[in-house]
Amino acid sequence: MELKSYQQEVLNDLDAFMEQVEADGNLKVAYRNFWLKKGLDVNDLQSEVLHPYDNTVTGVPRVMLKVPTAGGKTFIACNALKTIFDRQPAALPRVVTWFVPSDSILTQTYNNLNNPQHPYRQRLDKIGRA
C-alpha cells in the first residue's frame, strides 16, 4: 500500500511543522510561524479555521490531521510516526496515543494494527525496522 499524493502532502506539512518546532524551540511559536508561512495568522480573532496552539499537556506535542472520510487517516497516521520519530531525540521515549471517534472504529483499528497481514501493521513494522 503506497501513499497517495494528497496523503504525502499531509506528511510533508507535518515534517515542515516538526522542522519549525526544531527551529523555534517552542510549540506555540512554531505552530504560529508554520501557519504564517502559509499566509494564515492563528492569532487573528476573525479566523474561523485556525486557533492558537492548545498546549494542554505542557511540552508534549499534539498533532491532529484533518482528512476527509475515506481519505486514509489511519494509513497517514501510521506513516506519520516515522516523520515524528525521525525528528525526535533518540533518548526520549516513543509513545503514541491513538484517538478514534467510536468503539467500532477502535475495534477495527486495533484489529488492523495487530494483524501482521494488514497493510497498516506492515507499514508500522517497516517503520520500526528503519
pLDDT in tens, 49-102: 778 888 788 767 777 777 888 888 889 999 999 988 888 888 888 888 888 889
Percent of the chain with pLDDT over 90: 47
pTM of the model: 0.83
Four-CA torsion 99, 101, 103, 109, nearest 10 degrees:
-50
Distance of CA 51 to CAs 1, 15, 61, 64, 97, Å?
Answer: 34, 20, 16, 13, 22
- Output the average pLDDT for the chain: 87
> How many Å separate Cα 50 from the centre of its chain?
16
Grid coordinates in use for 70?
Answer: 475515506
